[in-house]
């Protein structure tokens, strides 16, 4: 590894190598260790520890005990920890960006954006300990009646590989701020960026031992986390397929599950749109981070009068983009995460072409570097069009009327994000009302994220729960308790 990643003050490989984090200590995990692989080069960056189900049980018990004192900590002290964490993300941004670039395959602008949002999530969470956490209720009895929001106790956070900082911290930070303890299970492929960095940041910020535990692992560890009786809420971000499994298991154990799942977002280009502006937006929305974002534009639905020009310009843009190692030089796209994902993407593209789609750009790869790809007129049942690809693939179809555009956009099991480009913003808004999604962007593409804004999808994109903003986070990570107080004991007729 380069000196920029090993000679650091925050993430010392000697401390975490081959270990997990339980009760404030780096300890050997019950499932051994695996290498953290740099997808761009295949090099081993470090060895990371893997937890076992027994480790999860131990961590959960420890977290439940530590949570009691943390919840009782005065709110200014909890807020101070979150503010300090935000400052530390900023202070160590260059170092953590280096891990994000090499371990995740993110290009530097995306890695920088992830650090910005991660710090912002902690600043936002710092306001939660002093937020109103209840209300006074009317009562027909002579008593004081209250509804109080109290910590749930232990929260399990399961985060994915693609944007591990943002998709982990958006649950970790508010859960901690509201007085909960957290078990964090990052994807095994991105343990350092999505796990070790968070542990070290919160250690340095003064979080007490046991309040944040790191238990990386496979499906057995995820199952143990969801099923553990100490874990009362699970925040899961990942594929719809995996989310259904988590939701089913959580239901069996009466555990609340907040599921942020897949997407196949539509990008509508109305007849009055400027094609160059639309292509600029679409390029970012379709190809950023190699398309490995849940909000990625998958379906480009373009008015028939603009279709040919749009396809030609989007294909030309795709052909001009540089794909390569983001740690070695300036590139537009980095590598896909691994060979399994690359082969899946390529199979979807090949199948769509075999079914009649026109390959306008891309469709080739070298190692894990997949060229940005444009498919024109794929069949509506082609998997590259109707499923989540999670790769740099743009499928473009045409429409004649707004009603047809709305029908095409709504013809999916997913409902995460929606983008519409039009000179008539109100007409675009009226169109958006006909398409069920959790997020709508008028005259913008679908990949947007702000720490104070509600984020979530409907349908197969999630359970309707939301991350972002005080209201959503308080609802997600607290329980509501009804409390009544009488001056004197009540009297009853029996």
Active-site residue identified among 13, 103, 122, 294: 294
Give me the chain's average pLDDT, please: 96
Residue 452 in any domain: the answer is: no
Segments forming the whole domain that contains residue 256: 3-261+462-481
- Which residues, in sequence order, are CB contacts of 11 under 8 Å at separation 6+? 95, 96, 99, 192, 196, 197, 200
Cα separation, 38 vs 473, in Å, equals 34
Is residue 7's pLDDT more than 60?
Answer: no
CB atoms within 10 A of CB 57: 17
For residue range 349-388, list pLDDT tens digits in order.
999 999 999 999 999 999 999 999 999 999 999 999 999 9
Return the closest-CA partner of residue 100 out of 27, 203, 239, 5: 5
pLDDT digit string, tens, across residues 288-324: 999 999 999 999 999 999 999 999 999 999 999 999 9
Task: Give CA–CA dist 192/47, Å, rounded.
Answer: 9
The answer to whether 386 is a known catalytic residue is no
Tell me, yes or no, if the pTM score tops 0.85: yes
Burial class, 174, CB count within 10 angstroms (exposed 0-12 / middle 13-18 / buried 19+): buried
Domain assignment of residue 450, yes or no: no
CA distances 418 to 57, 375, 414, Å, are: 40, 20, 11
Confidence at residue 3, expressed as pLDDT on a 0 to 100 scale = 39
- Whether residue 465 has pLDDT greater than 70: no
CA separation for the pair 109, 201 (Å, rounded): 22
Angstrom distance (rounded) from CA 399 to CA 422: 14
With bands split at pLDDT 50, 70 and 90, how would you rate the model's confidence at 2? very low
Phi and psi torsions of 267, nearest 5°: -130, 110
Predicted confidence (pLDDT) at residue 197 exceeds the cutoff of 80: yes
Catalytic residue among 121, 124, 260, 388: 260
- Residue 5: pLDDT band (50, 70, 90) is very low
Structure confidence by residue, pLDDT tens digits, 214-251: 999 999 999 999 999 999 999 999 999 999 999 999 99
Same domain, 247 and 290: no
Write down the pLDDT at residue 1.
Answer: 38
Tell me the backbone φ, ψ of residue 480, rounded to 5 degrees.
-100, 125
Residue 454 falls within a domain, yes or no? Answer: no
| Residue 294 a catalytic site member | yes
Q: Residue 176: which CATH number?
A: 3.40.605.10
**CA nearest to 269, candidates 460, 408, 458, 375:** 408
Q: Is 60 exceeded by the pLDDT of residue 136?
A: yes
pLDDT at 4 over 80: no
Q: How many domains does the chain have?
A: 2
Residue pair 133/124 in contact by the 8 Å Cβ criterion: no
The predicted structure's pLDDT at residue 8: 53
**Nearest Cα residue to 226 out of 261, 250, 251, 259:** 250
Residues 328 and 229 in one domain: no
Q: Based on the domain organization, do 349 and 393 belong to the same domain? A: yes
**Would you state the structure tokens that stand for residue 157, as one six-digit string?**
């956070």
The closest alpha carbon to 43, from 237, 327, 234, belongs to 327
């Amino acid at each position: 590894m380069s000196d920029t990643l090993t000679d650091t003050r925050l993430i010392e490989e000697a401390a975490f190598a081959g270990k997990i984090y339980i009760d404030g200590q780096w300890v050997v995990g019950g499932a051994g260790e695996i290498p953290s692989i740099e997808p761009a080069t295949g090099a081993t960056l470090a060895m990371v520890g893997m937890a076992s189900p027994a480790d999860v049980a131990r961590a959960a018990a420890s977290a439940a005990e530590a949570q009691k004192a943390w919840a009782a900590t005065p709110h200014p002290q909890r807020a101070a920890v979150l503010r300090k964490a935000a400052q530390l993300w900023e202070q160590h941004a260059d170092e953590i960006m280096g891990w994000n670039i090499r371990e995740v395959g993110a290009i530097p602008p995306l890695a920088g954006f992830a650090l910005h949002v991660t710090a912002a999530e902690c600043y936002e969470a710092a306001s939660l300990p002093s937020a109103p956490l209840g209300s006074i209720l009317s009562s027909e009895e002579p008593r004081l009646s209250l509804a109080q929001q109290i910590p749930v106790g232990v929260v399990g956070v399961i985060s994915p590989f693609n944007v591990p900082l943002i998709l982990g911290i958006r649950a970790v930070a508010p859960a901690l701020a509201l007085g909960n303890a957290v078990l964090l299970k990052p994807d095994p492929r991105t343990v350092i960026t999505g796990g070790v960095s968070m542990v070290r940041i919160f250690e340095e910020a003064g979080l007490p031992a046991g309040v944040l535990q790191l238990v990386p692992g496979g499906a057995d560890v995820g199952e143990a986390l969801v099923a553990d009786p100490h874990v009362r809420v699970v925040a899961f971000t990942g594929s719809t397929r995996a989310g259904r499994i988590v939701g089913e298991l959580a239901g069996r154990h009466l555990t609340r599950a907040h599921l942020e799942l897949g997407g196949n977002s539509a990008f509508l280009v109305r007849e009055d749109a400027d094609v160059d502006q639309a292509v600029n937006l679409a390029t970012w929305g379709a190809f950023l981070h190699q398309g490995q974002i849940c909000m990625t534009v998958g379906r480009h639905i373009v008015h028939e009068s603009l279709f040919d020009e749009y396809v030609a310009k989007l294909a030309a843009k795709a052909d001009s983009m540089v794909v390569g190692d983001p740690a070695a030089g300036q590139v537009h796209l980095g590598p896909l995460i691994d060979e399994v994902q690359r082969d899946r993407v390529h199979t979807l593209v090949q199948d769509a072409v075999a079914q009649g789609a026109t390959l306008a750009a891309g469709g080739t790869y070298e190692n894990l570097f997949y060229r940005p790809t444009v498919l024109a007129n794929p069949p509506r049942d082609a998997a590259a069009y109707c499923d989540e690809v999670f790769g740099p693939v743009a499928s473009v179809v045409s429409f004649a009327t707004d009603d047809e555009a709305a029908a095409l956009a709504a013809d999916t099991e997913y409902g995460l994000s929606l983008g519409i480009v039009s000179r008539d913003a109100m007409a675009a808004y009226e169109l958006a009302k006909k398409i069920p999604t959790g997020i709508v962007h008028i005259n913008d593409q679908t990949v947007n994220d702000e720490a104070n804004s509600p984020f979530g999808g409907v349908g197969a994109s999630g359970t309707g729960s939301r991350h972002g903003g005080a209201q959503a986070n308080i609802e997600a990570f607290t329980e509501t308790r009804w409390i009544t107080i009488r001056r004197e004991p009540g009297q009853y007729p029996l």
